[in-house]
Every structure is written in C-alpha cells, then in structure tokens.
Amino acid sequence: MEEKNIALAGLLFDFALVTKALHWTVRGNDALPLHEQLDELFDDLISYADRLFEDAFANDDNVSFDASLKSPANLISTEEVITFLKSTLARVIEVTEQEGVDKGRRGTANIVDDVAEGLTNWLYLFKLYDTP
C-alpha cells in the first residue's frame, strides 16, 4: 500500500514542477493574480509531497518514483492554464481517494486527508474563474 502513497507524492511533486513552469509563462486576462496563485499552489504541492515522502522515510518504505506528469508546453493563456489546473487537480484528488492509498497508519491517514482537503480547496478556487 505504501507504494500508492509514494506514487501520490511523486505525482504531487511532478504537478508542483509543472505549476512552477506555468507560473513563469502564463499570459492574458487575470494573469497577475493567477501568477501569484500558481506560486502559492506550488508551495502547497511541494509541502504535500514532502510530508508524504517524509512519512515514507520515517516508516522505512522504499522511496522511488518516476515522473508521470508532463508540462504542457503550449499553455500560456489564463483560460488554458485554469482548465489544465482544474482537470489535473480533479485527477490528483481522485488518486487520494483510490482504494489502496495507505491510510492504515494514523499519521499517514492524516497527511492524505490534509492533501485531499487542500487540493479540493484549490480546485474550488480555480472554479471561481468560471463565474462571470
């Protein structure tokens, strides 16, 4: 089961790197507030991944992962970036809810729950861009 947690941590780390790339390239309407939010999202994603990796180290789990999320090279408009973020956040939230994510250890369960809650809050925030 810990393999799924490490895969989740790796996915969060990958997503953080993509988020930072988008932070540097986003252009268009609402670019400045989105630019700042991408920086905050990056910090949160790195924190979530770090907590899961640290938990794995503390429990002597084998930590190894492959990058699975590639940076979308052509996304520069705020609308494209927001669409990408919403779909990726939804996908990562699904991973936190999958059967097999190890919630058997109390500390790990709290971390996974915190990650899911934090990602859900970010998804809600980016959905607000849809409202006129």
Q: Cα separation of 127 and 97, whole Å?
A: 20
Could you say which architecture CATH assigns to the domain 2-130? Up-down Bundle (1.20)
Query: Three-class SS of residue 27?
Result: strand
Q: Is the pTM of this model over 0.95?
A: no
- What pLDDT score does 1 carry? 43
Spans of all domains in the chain:
2-130
Taking only the tens of pLDDT, the chain with its 132 residues reads 467 777 888 889 889 999 998 888 888 877 888 889 999 999 999 999 999 888 877 776 666 655 566 656 666 788 888 888 999 999 888 888 875 566 666 677 788 888 999 999 999 999 988 766
- What pLDDT score does 98 carry? 75
